[in-house]
């Protein structure tokens, strides 16, 4: 789906400088996109440029989210006077990823979890 040159050149990603480190985040991001789309994202027709681009950009956004969380943690609350910071837990991380997937791929049909009607189905 995505490689380091796409992440760095097209998406404009600057968080991850090392292509080897990038691959680790890429694997997790692509796995999450495939999980939430029930592997439909990996089967997108490459001729559908618009949908392919949406999937690639979503993967890149998730890579940056995962990297930033790994680096500093997702901040869930901050108190100025008391100088306290709370980092998000695993549920918050999953919510952040699923929110990104829904935001960018929700209108594409890739995240649809309902039952599709099959017109060719006949009862015997």
Q: Tell me what pLDDT residue 69 has.
A: 77
Rounded Cα–Cα distance for residues 8 and 82 (Å)? 39
- DSSP assignment of 40-63 equals TGGG--TT-HHHHHHHHHHHHHHH
Ranges under pLDDT 50 in the chain: 72, 121, 124
Write down the pTM of the prediction. Answer: 0.73
> What is the signed CA dihedral for 35, 36, 39, 44, rounded to 10 degrees?
-140
User: Could you read off the pLDDT of 3-26 as tens digits, one per residue?
Assistant: 999 999 999 998 999 999 999 999
Name which of 74, 106, 77 is nearest 93 in CA terms. 74
Q: Tell me what pLDDT residue 113 has.
A: 76
Q: Are the C-beta atoms of 56 and 108 separated by less than 8 Å?
A: no
């Amino acid at each position: 789906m995505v490689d380091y040159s796409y992440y760095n050149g097209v998406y404009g990603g600057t968080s991850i400088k090392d292509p080897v480190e990038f691959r680790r985040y890429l694997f997790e991001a692509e796995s999450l996109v495939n999980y939430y789309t029930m592997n439909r994202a990996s089967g997108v027709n490459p001729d559908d440029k618009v949908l392919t681009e949406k999937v690639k950009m979503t993967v890149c956004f998730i890579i940056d989210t995962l990297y930033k969380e790994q680096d500093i943690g997702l901040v869930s609350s901050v108190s100025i006077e008391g100088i306290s910071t709370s980092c998000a837990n695993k549920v918050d991380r999953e919510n952040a990823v699923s929110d990104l997937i829904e935001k960018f791929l929700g209108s594409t049909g890739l995240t649809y979890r309902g039952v599709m009607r099959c017109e060719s189905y006949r009862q015997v």
